[in-house]
Chains A and B, each alone.
Chain A
């Protein structure tokens, strides 16, 4: 598997490997889309105009990632659905994002906590994808890892700032971290799809970056004088379409205009 590699197949019923890859792409695309949608909700409500700009920049990158991932997912799964078909016409149960991405924004500290968890994971996993056997996904991983690395700087800086700011900001950040942390385990979940992809040597598993993620976030948190939360429970369900109740309104808002105009072109 080192020198000759066939171009990814197009326009035919999805072979088993493609179906698995499509599932993974859909998951990652849904993560990026749903988190991007949550960040869009901040715009014009951020603590400063500079922060409106920073959060919209991050959202823009995430939507960009979602577009690449969903487009390819629709091509590989044999249905021929476009990025917009996937984003705007699927019902709640067909979305496979992690619950972390859909958690309501809460206050700025909760958003920073969610960004901290996601960005450290995304940099590590996208970097791993950059070395994967699928050339298209590898190219995406390399590009996206660089963009998310800037989002990670943003999250790290705000973690330090809020932790070392006032008593109020430190308390809010601790509460944000406590709220978010039970939802981080799902990022590294491994199921039959991922086991097949890993076994075939196509794509590395997110489980492989878990230790590195734990070390990285622990460095940031302890460096900021915080302790790493040790939640008594972990959330799961997003990958099989079992979402939080807050997800319904998020999706209704996302899809409202698209659904109001059947047959519309945009």
Chain B
């Protein structure tokens, strides 16, 4: 249920042993089970960040709802932006089973104490961006999120199963949108290539998190990333390293881009027979850190937009709360 009271740890050692036993057996942890504080905190942080990313992620595509070039594409984009709102709400609902309040999570987003994925700290400059975002960043999300359908925390896993089913539509429609552009006029094709040039790096770098293996980055970076990932893997929150998933993403995208006749903007991409994977330029830690910075126009703009919508709506939410309080009183009066 939504507001759990944590089970009192009568015997902390026994509780921890029981928790680890469940994790080892691949069972899910449910809201009223005892869980280590670190596990709860890591989940709240990860689920909230994911929820915030869905909500902030509505903005770049939402900006094109009024300009979609056909009524079919307009309907599809509406359905997609709607799903993003829905995914944010599923995830806030899951986070609340851990004893946090979604109002506090939204406050944290609005006031910079929690973040959304930096992927969306980039502008959607043309119509083709809506296709590139869906194909590449949602494609990355599906690869990232598919293992989370089996994550150890039950409500999160169940929310993610819903999310993943719906994300599959997002990727397909994005690819379909790009294909239409690639089969269109030279100007449409040019717009498609430009969008891919701008969205490839945000997808490949930012959707998967920092490098966390030696293969993915320099030793120092890898060590930093690996420490975080180790914990999440041990608890069954994560199932794969960031770099494993990143490789899977590149391997998926390269043939798709070839079919579209688009070039992914990384000259190092080539098939490596020995590894059985595509090689690509490792994610540069400094570039990564820079993209995460709050001091870019778009990092500020995304949160400012969200905060402005929230503040503009204050009087509406106050009205709803006042109306509910009044009708509650009336109902009670009639009962008595």
State the A residues within 8 Å of B (CB). Answer: 33, 37, 40-41, 43-53, 56-57, 59-60, 63-64, 66-67, 70, 83-84, 87-88, 107-108, 160-162, 164-166, 168-169, 172, 253-254, 256-258, 261-266
State whether A161 touches B319 (Cβ < 8 A).
Answer: yes
Task: Determine how close the nearest CB of chain B comes to the CB of A190; give it in whole angstroms.
Answer: 29
Stretch at the interface among B12-20, B58-66, B204-212, B216-224: B58-66
B69 proximity list for chain A (CB < 8 A): 88, 257-258, 261, 264, 266
CA distance A83 to B71 in the complex (A): 8
Partner of B62, one of A44, A257, A261, A262: A44
Task: Determine how close the nearest CB of chain A comes to the CB of B141; give it in whole angstroms.
Answer: 18
State whether B68 touches A43 (Cβ < 8 A).
Answer: no
A168 proximity list for chain B (CB < 8 A): 315, 318-319
B306 proximity list for chain A (CB < 8 A): 44
CA distance A51 to B58 in the complex (A): 13
| A108-B62 contact given A49-B55, A53-B86, CB 8 Å threshold | no
B82 proximity list for chain A (CB < 8 A): 52-53, 56-57, 60
CA distance A152 to B195 in the complex (A): 40
B62 proximity list for chain A (CB < 8 A): 43-44
State whether A43 touches B81 (Cβ < 8 A).
Answer: yes
Chain A, interface SS category: helix
Stretch at the interface among B33-41, B165-173, B183-191, B233-241: B183-191
B326 interface contact, C-beta 8 A = yes
State whether B315 touches A160 (Cβ < 8 A).
Answer: no
CA distance A166 to B66 in the complex (A): 32
Partner of A84, one of B65, B70, B88, B322: B70
A107 proximity list for chain B (CB < 8 A): 312
Task: Determine how close the nearest CB of chain B comes to the CB of A46; give it in whole angstroms.
Answer: 7
CA distance A172 to B59 in the complex (A): 27
CB-based nearest A residue for B55: A49
State whether B74 touches A164 (Cβ < 8 A).
Answer: no
B316 proximity list for chain A (CB < 8 A): 47-48, 51, 108, 162, 169
Which A-B residue pairs are the 4 nearest by beta carbons?
A: A47-B313, A165-B319, A169-B319, A47-B316
State whether A67 touches B75 (Cβ < 8 A).
Answer: yes
B227 interface contact, C-beta 8 A = no
Task: Determine how close the nearest CB of chain B comes to the CB of A129; give it in whole angstroms.
Answer: 21
B313 proximity list for chain A (CB < 8 A): 46-48, 51, 108
Partner of B185, one of A46, A84, A264: A264
- A-B interface pairs (CB < 8 A), number: 144
B323 interface contact, C-beta 8 A = yes
Task: Give B299-327 interface residues, CB cut-off 8 Å to A.
Answer: 305-306, 308-309, 312-323, 326-327
Task: Determine how close the nearest CB of chain A comes to the CB of B333; give it in whole angstroms.
Answer: 15
CA distance A160 to B326 in the complex (A): 12
B43 interface contact, C-beta 8 A = no
State whether A261 touches B305 (Cβ < 8 A).
Answer: no
State whether A257 touches B127 (Cβ < 8 A).
Answer: yes
State whether A164 touches B326 (Cβ < 8 A).
Answer: yes
B23 interface contact, C-beta 8 A = no
B85 proximity list for chain A (CB < 8 A): 49-50, 52-53, 56
CB-based nearest B residue for A250: B66
CB-based nearest A residue for B128: A257
State whether B78 touches A261 (Cβ < 8 A).
Answer: no
State whether B78 touches A266 (Cβ < 8 A).
Answer: no
Task: Determine how close the nearest CB of chain A comes to the CB of B196; give it in whole angstroms.
Answer: 17
B71 proximity list for chain A (CB < 8 A): 33, 63, 66-67, 70, 83-84, 87
CB-based nearest B residue for A252: B67
CA distance A88 to B305 in the complex (A): 29
| A253-B66 contact given A57-B82, A263-B185, CB 8 Å threshold | yes
What are 22 A-B contacts with C-beta separation under 8 Å?
Answer: A40-B66, A40-B78, A51-B313, A56-B85, A60-B78, A108-B313, A162-B316, A162-B323, A165-B319, A165-B321, A166-B319, A169-B315, A169-B318, A172-B315, A253-B66, A261-B185, A261-B191, A264-B184, A265-B183, A265-B185, A266-B69, A266-B180
A33 proximity list for chain B (CB < 8 A): 71
CA distance A254 to B86 in the complex (A): 25
B270 interface contact, C-beta 8 A = no
CB-based nearest B residue for A160: B323
B149 interface contact, C-beta 8 A = no
CA distance A177 to B19 in the complex (A): 58
State whether A261 touches B187 (Cβ < 8 A).
Answer: yes
CA distance A53 to B316 in the complex (A): 16
State whether A59 touches B78 (Cβ < 8 A).
Answer: yes
B9 interface contact, C-beta 8 A = no
**Mask for B154-178, Cβ within 8 A of A = 1, else 0?**
0000000000000000000000000
Partner of B70, one of A40, A88, A162, A166: A88
Partner of A63, one of B55, B78, B180, B309: B78
A256 proximity list for chain B (CB < 8 A): 67
CA distance A107 to B316 in the complex (A): 10
Task: Determine how close the nearest CB of chain A comes to the CB of B2; give it in whole angstroms.
Answer: 16
B292 interface contact, C-beta 8 A = no
